[in-house]
Amino acid sequence: MKFSCEKHILQSAVAVCSRAAAAKSPIPALEGVLLEAGERLRVTGYDLKKGIYTNIEADVTEPGSIVLDAKLFGEMVRKMPDGIIYISSDEENKTTVKCGKTEFSFMGVDSGEYPELPSVDGIKSYKIKQGVLKNMINQCIFAVSDNDSRPVYTGSMFEVENGVLAMVSVDGYRLAIRREAIEGPEEHNEFIVPATALADIERISEADSEEDTGIYVGANHVSFIVGSTVVISRRLEGDFLNYRKAMPDTFKLHIKVGRTELLRVVDRVALIIDEKTKNPVRMTFNENFIDCLCNTPIGKAEDVCFSEGDGEGLEIGFNGKYLMDALKAAPADEIDLCLNGNTSPCIMTPTDGSETFKYMILPIRLRS
C-alpha cells in the first residue's frame, strides 16, 4: 500500500475515526484505525459497539490496507510538519509515515484481523438538516443518564411520527424533549441511540449547514451519514419511559422569565454550593420577581430575577446544576416556568406555546 495525502485532511479524518477505536481490547486490531487505499482513502474506527468511517481524497499509487495504532498514528500525524504526508506499508505490515524531513517507521496490524462493520438491515430512512440535528443533540444530551445500571437511559430516544422527530432524554431527575420536522416514513417509529454516538455526530456536524443528514434505522443498528462521514451504532434495547405520562399537562402557575437573566442569577447564587452536601437553590416565586437563595456551610447567597406573573409565594428547591443545564440548553430568549407546587416538577417551555422544546426538572424537598 502506498499513498499521499494533505496533512490537515488526514489529521481531521484520523481524529474523528479514532473516537470509535477501542481504548483496550482483546482484539488488538480494534485499538487501531483501518486505512483502506483505493480510489479514495477510507479511514475506519470500530469498537464492536460503534463504528465511524470517512472517505477522503488521497493520491493512491498502490492500493491496499493496514491497521495502525489509533493513538500513536494520530499523534504522529498531528505533530508532522504541514504539507503532504506519504504513507506506505509492505507485505510484512512495516509502515512508513513521512513528511518533509520527518519520518516514522513502525509495525502495523494485518487488515484481515479487523472485524467487519455491521450492516444496517431492514432499513427505514429519514433526512434532517445537519445543523438542526446538531442543535437538537446539543439541547437534549445533557439529560442523558450516566448510570450504566439502566443502559436504556444512557441514550436518547428518537420518536418519529407524522413528519416530526421528538428526541427525548431522561436520567431520573430531569427530562428533555426537542422536536423538529423530519423527512421520511410518517408511521410511528422509535429507537434509542447511545449518547456516545450522538456526541460524535454533534462534533462532526456543522451548526450552519443546510446539508441533509441521513438516518438509517435497522433492527439492531442505526447509521447517520454526515457529509462524507458515517457513524454506525448499536441500538439500545429496553423499555423507555413513557414521557407523556411522566409530565403534568395542567399547571396552577405560569411564570414568564428571561432565560439568560435567570441563568446568571442561578449561576451566581450557586457559587457557594458545597459539592459534598449539594445544597439546593431555593426559589421563591413572587409577583413579578423570583427570589433565589442558597444557604450552605460555606455561606449564604441571594439574588433576584425579574419575571412576569404572580407565583403566589411558592417556595421550591432545585439542584443548581440541573437547573442551569436546562437554562443553557433552552433555544429561546424567554421561557415559561410551569408549576403546581413545591413537590411537583417544574416544566420549562417556549413562551409562544410551541412544542419545540420541553424540559422537566424534579424539585428537591426543602428543609424549613
* pLDDT-derived band at 274, boundaries 50, 70, 90: confident
pLDDT digit string (tens) for 135-165? 999 999 999 999 999 999 999 999 999 999 9
The whole-angstrom separation of Cα 156 and Cα 91 is 44
The whole-angstrom separation of Cα 179 and Cα 42 is 34
Residue-level pLDDT at 368: 65
pLDDT digit string (tens) for 42-65? 999 999 999 999 999 999 999 999
Pair 293, 201 in one domain: no
Residue-level pLDDT at 310: 96
* Dihedral angle computed from the Cα positions of residues 296, 297, 298 and 304, in that order, rounded to the nearest 10 degrees: 20
Residue 39 in any domain: the answer is yes
Residue-level pLDDT at 41: 98
Residue-level pLDDT at 292: 97
The CATH number of whichever domain residue 134 belongs to comes to: 3.10.150.10
**For residue 13, pLDDT beyond 80:** yes
Task: Please write down the long-range contacts of 30-34, taking CB distance under 8 Å and 24 or more positions apart.
Answer: 30/114, 30/115, 31/69, 31/70, 31/71, 32/67, 32/68, 32/69, 32/70, 32/73, 32/108, 32/109, 32/114, 33/67, 33/68, 33/70, 33/73, 33/74, 34/65, 34/66, 34/67, 34/111, 34/114
Share the mean pLDDT of the chain. Answer: 95
Pair 251, 356 in one domain: yes
Residue 352 in any domain: the answer is yes
Pair 156, 89 in one domain: no
Please answer whether residues 198 and 173 qualify as being in contact, where contact means their C-beta atoms are separated by less than 8 angstroms.
no
Residue 368 in any domain: the answer is no
pLDDT digit string (tens) for 163-174? 999 999 999 999
Residue 210 in any domain: the answer is yes
Residue 118 in any domain: the answer is no
Boundary-marking domain end, from 222, 244, 266:
244
pLDDT digit string (tens) for 195-251? 999 999 999 999 999 999 999 999 999 999 999 999 999 999 999 999 999 999 899
The whole-angstrom separation of Cα 130 and Cα 210 is 6
Residue-level pLDDT at 277: 76
Which class for 55: exposed (0-12), middle (13-18), buried (19 or more C-beta within 10 A)?
middle
DSSP string, 142-195: GGS---TTSGGGSEEEEEEETTEEEEEEE-SSEEEEEEEE-BS--S-EEEEEEH
Pair 351, 316 in one domain: yes
Please answer whether residues 72 and 45 qualify as being in contact, where contact means their C-beta atoms are separated by less than 8 angstroms.
no
pLDDT digit string (tens) for 277-333? 788 999 999 999 999 999 988 899 999 999 999 999 999 999 999 999 999 999 999
Pair 347, 297 in one domain: yes
- Range of the structural domain that residue 64 is part of: 2-113
pLDDT digit string (tens) for 17-47? 999 999 999 999 999 999 999 999 999 999 9
pLDDT digit string (tens) for 345-363? 999 999 998 989 999 999 9
Residue 154 in any domain: the answer is yes
Pair 7, 80 in one domain: yes
* pLDDT-derived band at 335, boundaries 50, 70, 90: very high
Boundary-marking domain end, from 223, 244, 265:
244
Residue 277 in any domain: the answer is yes
Among residues 76, 59, 62, 65, which one has the least CA distance to residue 6? 59
Pair 182, 106 in one domain: no
Q: Which residues of 106-136 are buried (b: 16+ CB within 10 A; e: fewer)?
A: eebbebeebeebbebeeebebebbbbbbbbb
Cell of 228: 462524507
Residue-level pLDDT at 123: 86
Residue 119 in any domain: the answer is no
Residue 177: C-alpha distances to residues 142, 166, 228, 314 (Å): 11, 7, 29, 26
pLDDT digit string (tens) for 82-139? 999 999 999 999 999 999 999 999 999 999 999 999 988 878 999 999 999 999 999 9
Pair 109, 147 in one domain: no
> What's the total number of domains in the chain?
3
Pair 215, 277 in one domain: no
Boundary-marking domain end, from 113, 138, 160:
113
* Helix or strand holding residue 121 (H, E): none
* Helix or strand holding residue 246 (H, E): helix 243-246
The whole-angstrom separation of Cα 177 and Cα 326 is 11
Pair 237, 318 in one domain: no
Please answer whether residues 19 and 200 qualify as being in contact, where contact means their C-beta atoms are separated by less than 8 angstroms.
yes
Pair 219, 287 in one domain: no
Pair 223, 252 in one domain: no
